[in-house]
Structure 1
Amino acid sequence: MTEVEEFKSKLPKDELCLAIVESKPVGQVLGVSDKDDFFFHTPRKTIAELSESRQVEKCIVMCTIAAIDSDMGWYYLSCKVCSKKVVQVPNDTLDDGEDENELMFSYYCNKCKCYNPKLLPRLYKLHLFVLDNTGNSKFLLFDNLALQLLHQPCIELTGPISDEIHGPDVIPLELQNLVGKTHF
Protein backbone atom coordinates (compact mmCIF):
# COMPACT_ATOMS: atom_id res chain seq x y z
CA MET A 1 0.00 0.00 0.00
CA THR A 2 1.43 3.38 -0.91
CA GLU A 3 1.68 6.21 1.60
CA VAL A 4 -1.17 8.10 -0.08
CA GLU A 5 -3.53 5.12 0.09
CA GLU A 6 -2.55 4.52 3.72
CA PHE A 7 -3.26 8.16 4.55
CA LYS A 8 -6.67 8.04 2.79
CA SER A 9 -7.62 4.92 4.71
CA LYS A 10 -7.05 6.78 8.00
CA LEU A 11 -9.39 9.65 7.08
CA PRO A 12 -12.91 9.64 8.58
CA LYS A 13 -15.58 8.04 6.39
CA ASP A 14 -18.37 10.50 7.29
CA GLU A 15 -19.58 13.45 5.21
CA LEU A 16 -17.85 16.16 7.30
CA CYS A 17 -15.38 18.45 5.55
CA LEU A 18 -11.81 18.57 6.74
CA ALA A 19 -10.12 21.91 7.38
CA ILE A 20 -6.43 22.62 7.20
CA VAL A 21 -5.37 24.43 10.36
CA GLU A 22 -1.91 25.89 10.86
CA SER A 23 -0.31 24.92 14.12
CA LYS A 24 0.73 27.68 16.49
CA PRO A 25 3.50 27.43 19.07
CA VAL A 26 2.18 26.96 22.60
CA GLY A 27 3.63 30.34 23.62
CA GLN A 28 1.46 32.14 21.08
CA VAL A 29 -1.66 30.23 22.00
CA LEU A 30 -1.31 30.99 25.70
CA GLY A 31 -0.11 34.56 25.15
CA VAL A 32 3.30 33.76 26.64
CA SER A 33 6.45 34.72 24.77
CA ASP A 34 9.42 32.38 24.42
CA LYS A 35 11.39 34.70 26.71
CA ASP A 36 8.68 34.59 29.40
CA ASP A 37 8.46 30.82 29.01
CA PHE A 38 12.24 30.53 29.49
CA PHE A 39 12.18 32.59 32.69
CA PHE A 40 9.19 30.66 34.04
CA HIS A 41 10.57 27.17 33.42
CA THR A 42 14.31 27.68 33.97
CA PRO A 43 15.56 27.15 37.53
CA ARG A 44 17.26 30.00 39.39
CA LYS A 45 20.54 29.33 41.17
CA THR A 46 23.01 31.25 43.28
CA ILE A 47 26.71 31.20 42.46
CA ALA A 48 27.28 28.83 45.41
CA GLU A 49 24.61 26.43 44.09
CA LEU A 50 26.12 26.65 40.63
CA SER A 51 29.58 25.83 42.02
CA GLU A 52 28.23 22.81 43.91
CA SER A 53 26.27 21.45 40.95
CA ARG A 54 27.74 18.40 39.24
CA GLN A 55 25.44 18.30 36.23
CA VAL A 56 25.25 20.39 33.08
CA GLU A 57 22.01 22.34 32.90
CA LYS A 58 20.56 25.68 31.97
CA CYS A 59 19.89 27.99 34.87
CA ILE A 60 19.41 31.66 35.65
CA VAL A 61 21.92 33.34 37.97
CA MET A 62 21.24 36.83 39.26
CA CYS A 63 24.65 38.37 39.85
CA THR A 64 26.60 41.61 39.78
CA ILE A 65 29.41 42.16 37.31
CA ALA A 66 32.45 42.97 39.46
CA ALA A 67 35.06 43.32 36.69
CA ILE A 68 35.86 42.51 33.09
CA ASP A 69 38.93 40.35 32.50
CA SER A 70 40.70 41.78 29.47
CA ASP A 71 43.68 39.38 29.56
CA MET A 72 42.04 37.11 26.99
CA GLY A 73 40.38 39.88 24.96
CA TRP A 74 36.70 40.70 24.69
CA TYR A 75 36.06 39.83 21.03
CA TYR A 76 37.13 37.45 18.30
CA LEU A 77 38.91 38.68 15.21
CA SER A 78 37.70 37.08 12.02
CA CYS A 79 38.67 37.08 8.38
CA LYS A 80 36.64 39.60 6.42
CA VAL A 81 36.46 37.22 3.43
CA CYS A 82 35.21 34.00 5.07
CA SER A 83 34.11 35.27 8.54
CA LYS A 84 36.08 32.52 10.31
CA LYS A 85 38.21 33.19 13.38
CA VAL A 86 41.82 34.14 12.67
CA VAL A 87 44.72 33.03 14.86
CA GLN A 88 47.84 34.87 15.95
CA VAL A 89 51.09 33.39 14.72
CA PRO A 90 54.64 34.55 15.50
CA ASN A 91 56.37 36.68 12.88
CA ASP A 92 59.32 35.07 11.12
CA THR A 93 61.14 38.39 10.76
CA LEU A 94 64.29 38.89 12.77
CA ASP A 95 64.31 41.70 15.30
CA ASP A 96 67.11 44.04 14.25
CA GLY A 97 66.28 46.48 17.04
CA GLU A 98 65.57 49.37 14.66
CA ASP A 99 61.77 49.29 14.65
CA GLU A 100 60.44 49.13 18.20
CA ASN A 101 56.81 49.24 17.02
CA GLU A 102 57.06 46.18 14.79
CA LEU A 103 54.52 43.54 15.78
CA MET A 104 55.92 40.27 17.03
CA PHE A 105 52.99 38.36 15.51
CA SER A 106 50.73 38.31 12.48
CA TYR A 107 47.29 36.84 11.81
CA TYR A 108 46.49 33.71 9.83
CA CYS A 109 43.18 32.47 8.42
CA ASN A 110 43.03 28.66 8.40
CA LYS A 111 40.14 28.57 5.93
CA CYS A 112 41.57 31.00 3.36
CA LYS A 113 45.13 29.78 4.04
CA CYS A 114 46.53 33.31 4.10
CA TYR A 115 48.58 35.49 6.41
CA ASN A 116 47.38 38.93 7.51
CA PRO A 117 43.88 38.83 6.01
CA LYS A 118 41.61 41.85 6.28
CA LEU A 119 40.29 41.70 9.84
CA LEU A 120 36.81 42.11 11.24
CA PRO A 121 35.96 42.04 14.95
CA ARG A 122 33.09 39.62 14.67
CA LEU A 123 31.85 38.26 17.96
CA TYR A 124 31.90 39.10 21.62
CA LYS A 125 33.65 36.84 24.11
CA LEU A 126 33.41 38.59 27.45
CA HIS A 127 35.23 37.16 30.47
CA LEU A 128 33.33 38.56 33.46
CA PHE A 129 34.08 38.33 37.17
CA VAL A 130 30.65 38.12 38.82
CA LEU A 131 29.40 37.88 42.39
CA ASP A 132 26.28 37.50 44.46
CA ASN A 133 25.73 37.20 48.21
CA THR A 134 26.83 33.53 48.14
CA GLY A 135 30.12 33.73 46.26
CA ASN A 136 31.94 34.78 43.11
CA SER A 137 32.80 33.21 39.80
CA LYS A 138 34.03 33.92 36.30
CA PHE A 139 31.51 33.74 33.46
CA LEU A 140 32.26 33.64 29.75
CA LEU A 141 29.60 35.31 27.62
CA PHE A 142 29.64 34.77 23.90
CA ASP A 143 28.05 36.97 21.28
CA ASN A 144 24.35 36.28 21.75
CA LEU A 145 24.29 36.85 25.52
CA ALA A 146 26.71 39.79 25.39
CA LEU A 147 24.55 41.38 22.71
CA GLN A 148 21.54 41.14 25.05
CA LEU A 149 23.50 43.00 27.74
CA LEU A 150 24.98 45.68 25.51
CA HIS A 151 22.33 46.08 22.80
CA GLN A 152 25.14 46.81 20.32
CA PRO A 153 26.94 44.51 17.91
CA CYS A 154 30.63 44.01 18.59
CA ILE A 155 31.70 45.91 15.48
CA GLU A 156 30.05 49.09 16.80
CA LEU A 157 32.33 49.06 19.83
CA THR A 158 35.53 48.27 17.98
CA GLY A 159 34.89 50.91 15.34
CA PRO A 160 35.90 50.77 11.70
CA ILE A 161 38.70 48.38 10.95
CA SER A 162 41.98 49.59 9.55
CA ASP A 163 45.50 48.24 9.69
CA GLU A 164 45.67 49.63 13.22
CA ILE A 165 43.11 47.69 15.19
CA HIS A 166 42.68 48.45 18.87
CA GLY A 167 43.94 45.62 21.00
CA PRO A 168 41.33 43.45 22.65
CA ASP A 169 42.76 44.48 26.03
CA VAL A 170 41.43 48.03 25.54
CA ILE A 171 37.98 47.98 27.16
CA PRO A 172 35.50 50.49 25.67
CA LEU A 173 33.33 52.63 27.93
CA GLU A 174 30.16 50.70 27.03
CA LEU A 175 31.73 47.55 28.48
CA GLN A 176 33.16 49.36 31.50
CA ASN A 177 29.65 50.63 32.26
CA LEU A 178 28.52 47.02 32.87
CA VAL A 179 30.69 46.84 36.00
CA GLY A 180 28.64 47.23 39.17
CA LYS A 181 25.34 46.38 37.49
CA THR A 182 23.23 43.36 38.42
CA HIS A 183 21.82 41.11 35.70
CA PHE A 184 20.16 37.73 35.36
Structure 2
Amino acid sequence: MPVVQLQKRIFNEVPVEKEIFQNIVTLKHITNLVWYNNDDQVTNFTIKAMLSDADSRFGWCYLSCNFCKKKIPENLYCQKCRKELKFPQMRYNIEMKVTDESAKTTFLLFDSIAQKLIGLSCYQLLNKQENDIFSGE
Protein backbone atom coordinates (compact mmCIF):
# COMPACT_ATOMS: atom_id res chain seq x y z
CA MET A 1 0.00 0.00 0.00
CA PRO A 2 1.54 3.39 -0.96
CA VAL A 3 2.30 5.79 1.86
CA VAL A 4 1.74 9.50 1.24
CA GLN A 5 3.37 12.25 3.21
CA LEU A 6 1.32 15.29 2.27
CA GLN A 7 3.29 18.21 0.91
CA LYS A 8 2.75 21.63 2.44
CA ARG A 9 1.32 23.86 -0.26
CA ILE A 10 0.46 27.52 -0.51
CA PHE A 11 -3.04 27.95 -1.91
CA ASN A 12 -3.35 29.72 -5.26
CA GLU A 13 0.31 29.21 -6.18
CA VAL A 14 -0.90 27.38 -9.31
CA PRO A 15 -4.03 28.47 -11.18
CA VAL A 16 -6.89 25.94 -10.96
CA GLU A 17 -6.94 25.68 -14.77
CA LYS A 18 -3.40 24.26 -14.69
CA GLU A 19 -3.71 22.36 -11.43
CA ILE A 20 -6.53 20.11 -12.66
CA PHE A 21 -4.13 18.63 -15.20
CA GLN A 22 -1.30 18.07 -12.72
CA ASN A 23 -2.09 15.40 -10.16
CA ILE A 24 -4.44 13.09 -12.09
CA VAL A 25 -5.06 9.76 -10.37
CA THR A 26 -7.70 7.02 -10.21
CA LEU A 27 -10.09 6.35 -7.35
CA LYS A 28 -8.24 3.10 -6.68
CA HIS A 29 -5.03 5.09 -6.18
CA ILE A 30 -6.75 7.36 -3.65
CA THR A 31 -8.47 4.55 -1.75
CA ASN A 32 -5.19 2.62 -1.44
CA LEU A 33 -3.23 5.48 0.11
CA VAL A 34 -2.20 5.61 3.75
CA TRP A 35 -2.64 9.18 4.96
CA TYR A 36 -0.67 11.01 7.60
CA ASN A 37 -2.96 13.42 9.39
CA ASN A 38 -1.38 16.84 9.67
CA ASP A 39 -3.72 19.84 9.71
CA ASP A 40 -1.37 22.27 7.99
CA GLN A 41 -0.72 20.08 4.94
CA VAL A 42 -2.84 19.81 1.81
CA THR A 43 -2.64 17.66 -1.32
CA ASN A 44 -4.98 18.06 -4.25
CA PHE A 45 -5.78 15.29 -6.70
CA THR A 46 -7.79 15.39 -9.89
CA ILE A 47 -10.05 12.43 -10.52
CA LYS A 48 -12.18 11.89 -13.59
CA ALA A 49 -15.14 10.08 -12.09
CA MET A 50 -18.92 9.94 -12.14
CA LEU A 51 -21.22 10.88 -9.27
CA SER A 52 -23.44 7.82 -9.34
CA ASP A 53 -25.71 8.37 -6.35
CA ALA A 54 -26.39 10.41 -3.24
CA ASP A 55 -26.66 8.30 -0.11
CA SER A 56 -29.22 9.88 2.22
CA ARG A 57 -29.46 7.07 4.79
CA PHE A 58 -27.81 9.31 7.38
CA GLY A 59 -29.40 12.55 6.17
CA TRP A 60 -27.87 15.25 4.00
CA CYS A 61 -27.79 18.15 6.45
CA TYR A 62 -27.45 18.82 10.14
CA LEU A 63 -28.04 21.48 12.80
CA SER A 64 -24.79 23.14 13.77
CA CYS A 65 -23.38 25.58 16.25
CA ASN A 66 -23.00 29.12 14.87
CA PHE A 67 -19.60 29.43 16.52
CA CYS A 68 -17.70 26.13 16.18
CA LYS A 69 -19.80 24.58 13.34
CA LYS A 70 -20.08 21.25 15.20
CA LYS A 71 -23.24 19.17 14.98
CA ILE A 72 -25.62 19.85 17.85
CA PRO A 73 -28.49 17.81 19.29
CA GLU A 74 -32.15 18.81 19.05
CA ASN A 75 -31.98 20.51 22.46
CA LEU A 76 -29.84 23.17 20.69
CA TYR A 77 -27.03 23.06 23.25
CA CYS A 78 -23.45 23.00 21.99
CA GLN A 79 -21.31 20.82 24.25
CA LYS A 80 -18.06 22.23 22.84
CA CYS A 81 -18.96 25.93 23.23
CA ARG A 82 -21.17 25.32 26.26
CA LYS A 83 -23.85 27.56 24.81
CA GLU A 84 -27.55 27.23 24.18
CA LEU A 85 -28.26 28.34 20.63
CA LYS A 86 -31.39 30.24 19.65
CA PHE A 87 -30.70 30.16 15.91
CA PRO A 88 -28.45 27.23 14.91
CA GLN A 89 -27.29 26.94 11.31
CA MET A 90 -28.20 24.17 8.90
CA ARG A 91 -25.15 22.76 7.10
CA TYR A 92 -24.69 20.23 4.31
CA ASN A 93 -23.07 16.86 4.84
CA ILE A 94 -23.82 14.88 1.69
CA GLU A 95 -22.51 11.38 1.00
CA MET A 96 -21.92 10.92 -2.72
CA LYS A 97 -21.19 7.57 -4.37
CA VAL A 98 -18.40 8.08 -6.89
CA THR A 99 -17.17 5.63 -9.54
CA ASP A 100 -14.47 5.49 -12.18
CA GLU A 101 -13.01 2.62 -14.24
CA SER A 102 -10.90 1.44 -11.28
CA ALA A 103 -13.08 1.64 -8.16
CA LYS A 104 -16.18 2.85 -6.34
CA THR A 105 -16.10 4.90 -3.15
CA THR A 106 -17.99 7.46 -1.12
CA PHE A 107 -17.04 11.13 -0.88
CA LEU A 108 -18.40 13.45 1.78
CA LEU A 109 -19.38 16.87 0.51
CA PHE A 110 -19.13 19.20 3.45
CA ASP A 111 -20.94 22.51 3.67
CA SER A 112 -18.59 24.84 1.80
CA ILE A 113 -18.09 22.50 -1.19
CA ALA A 114 -21.76 21.52 -1.35
CA GLN A 115 -22.76 25.21 -1.35
CA LYS A 116 -20.46 25.85 -4.32
CA LEU A 117 -21.85 22.89 -6.27
CA ILE A 118 -25.52 23.52 -5.45
CA GLY A 119 -25.37 27.31 -5.57
CA LEU A 120 -27.47 27.71 -2.42
CA SER A 121 -26.79 27.52 1.29
CA CYS A 122 -28.47 24.66 3.11
CA TYR A 123 -30.87 27.15 4.71
CA GLN A 124 -31.78 28.61 1.30
CA LEU A 125 -32.41 25.15 -0.17
CA LEU A 126 -34.60 24.10 2.76
CA ASN A 127 -36.61 27.34 2.43
CA LYS A 128 -36.97 26.79 -1.32
CA GLN A 129 -38.21 23.23 -0.72
CA GLU A 130 -40.71 24.45 1.85
CA ASN A 131 -41.97 27.22 -0.46
CA ASP A 132 -42.30 24.77 -3.38
CA ILE A 133 -44.32 22.36 -1.23
CA PHE A 134 -46.70 25.04 0.03
CA SER A 135 -47.10 26.66 -3.40
CA GLY A 136 -47.98 23.30 -4.96
CA GLU A 137 -45.00 23.12 -7.35
Q: Which runs of 5+ in 1 are unaligned?
A: 1-24, 28-33, 89-104, 161-165, 167-184
Separation (CA, whole Å) in 2 of partners of 1:79 and 1:147: 18
Secondary structure, in 3 states, of the residue corresponding to 1:68?
Answer: strand
Q: Which residue of 1 aligns with 2:44?
A: 58
Q: CA RMSD in A?
A: 2.9
Residue 137 (structure 1) aligned to one of 105, 113, 124: 105
The alignment's TM-score, normalised by the length of structure 1, stands at 0.49
Residue 35 (structure 1) aligned to one of 7, 11, 16: 16
- Which amino acid in structure 2 is aligned with residue 39 of structure 1? I
Query: Does the alignment pair 1:108 with 2:89?
Result: no
Residue 47 (structure 1) aligned to one of 24, 27, 34: 27
Q: Which runs of 5+ in 2 are unaligned?
A: 1-11, 37-42, 131-137
Relative contact order (alpha carbons < 8 A, sep ≥ 6): 1 or 2 greater?
1
Call closer, same or farther: CA 1:131–1:120 in 2, change over 3 Å.
same
Call closer, same or farther: CA 1:26–1:145 in 2, change over 3 Å.
closer
- Which amino acid in structure 1 is aligned with residue 55 of structure 2? D
Tell whether the 8 Å contact from 2:21 to 2:46 is kept in structure 1 after alignment: no
Higher Cα Rg, which structure: 1
Give structure 1 regions of 4+ aligned residues with deviation exceeding 6 angstroms: none
